Amino acid sequence: MKNLKVYEATDRMVNIIKDNYNILQAMNSFGIYLGFGDKTVDEVCREQEVDTFTFLTVINFTVNGYNDKLDIGKVSIPTLLKYLEASHTYYIDFQLPFIRQELADSLDVSDNLARLILKLYDEYAHSVIHHMRYEEKHVFPYVRKLLSGEAPTDYDVATFSKHHGQIDQELKELKNIIIKYLPSDGLHNNKLLATLYGIYSNEEWLKLHGDVEDCIFIPAIRALEQKRRSNGVDLSLTSLATPGTKDEDCLSQREKDVIVALVQGMSNKEIADHLCISTNTVITHRRNIAKKLQIHSPAGLTIYAIVNHLVNIESLKA
């Protein structure tokens, strides 16, 4: 079994980067800038006003995964808030637009299928931004109220609890469609492969972001809530949940008929009338299609229908 390297405050910061260059973005989100010479982690963190224990907690989590011996009570929640907010800024202002441009450059945008790929990416980006903006508008202010000793009573974390799984699913759908269905000529293939590699790296970053929230941020908030609860404040913060997925199965002919109708823009009721079935049966078919294909968006189903010759691309408008 591989021995895990646990970094400590006395380690030199430059050595941590040499061992794990993928932590550079995490350092940036903490507000730690390069040019620190051979100083230790503790020296760099103190100089740049970052809580050393919290920084090392996130870095060691990034490198080694969850540690059940972590003293969550020592984690600085203000430092975590700063880290998460800076991560949002990086992802929304830089990462999402950058990958979108790389994807556009690697595709023939005169092709309807390529435009549908971009549409699917835009839907994914919108979901990520929506989730992060929700956290910024509701979750982070809630935590600040807890830190200030207030007792908010009008907060509902239901949306926060379900969005990570949805976002992960949309990114998985995008990758699968590119790999399985998108044709590429020699001119665009190298760019497309490089972009796909970037999407995979992007997926790892986003998963880590969610895991930090799940395994460090949420437990720290729960500990803070417990302190407030002891003062008569009855609050709770539910955990994030990522739904499971199923392997792709074969579609029935009726399910294919439903996909064609959906791609043509029919509503559930219109599909029911067209296929002489009930609306509830249409909804059941749609649920089964999503489970089998792991495709939930209209753009994704359109691409599936085109590449599997269920519809003619010339008859559709991207």
CA atoms of 27 and 208, how far apart (whole Å): 14
In a domain, 279, yes or no: yes
Query: How many Å is the maximal CA-CA distance in the chain?
Result: 74
Q: Which residue has the higher pLDDT, 174 or 284?
A: 284
Range of the domain at 33: 13-70
In a domain, 240, yes or no: no
93 and 195 inside one domain: yes
Tokens (6 digits) for 124: 């994914």
62 and 80 inside one domain: no
CA atoms of 220 and 146, how far apart (whole Å): 11
Q: What is the pLDDT of residue 233?
A: 44
CA atoms of 45 and 52, how far apart (whole Å): 6
Alpha-carbon dihedral of residues 94, 97, 183, 169, nearest 10 degrees?
A: 80
In a domain, 96, yes or no: yes
Tell me the backbone φ, ψ of residue 34, rounded to 5 degrees.
Answer: -70, 170
pLDDT in tens, 12-69: 999 999 998 888 989 999 999 999 999 999 999 999 999 999 999 999 998 888 777 7
Tell me: pLDDT of 314 over 70.
no
In a domain, 177, yes or no: yes
In a domain, 128, yes or no: yes
64 and 191 inside one domain: no
CA atoms of 173 and 171, how far apart (whole Å): 5
65 and 162 inside one domain: no
33 and 50 inside one domain: yes
The DSSP annotation for 150-172 comes to ----S---HHHHHHHHHHHHHHH
In a domain, 243, yes or no: no
219 and 123 inside one domain: yes
Q: How far is C-alpha 286 from the geometric centre of its chain's CA atoms?
A: 24
The per-residue pLDDT of the chain, averaged, comes to 81
81 and 196 inside one domain: yes
pLDDT in tens, 116-140: 888 888 988 888 898 888 888 888 8
Name the domain boundary from 229, 244, 274. 229
Q: How far is C-alpha 249 from the geometric centre of its chain's CA atoms?
A: 25
79 and 55 inside one domain: no
Q: Worst-scoring range by mean pLDDT, 51-55, 78-82, 257-261, 309-313?
A: 309-313
pTM of the model: 0.70
Q: What is the mean pLDDT of residues 149-177?
A: 60
92 and 187 inside one domain: yes
276 and 223 inside one domain: no
173 and 92 inside one domain: yes
Tokens (6 digits) for 226: 């417990």
pLDDT in tens, 77-119: 999 999 999 999 999 999 999 999 988 888 877 778 888 888 8
**Domain count of the chain?**
3
99 and 214 inside one domain: yes
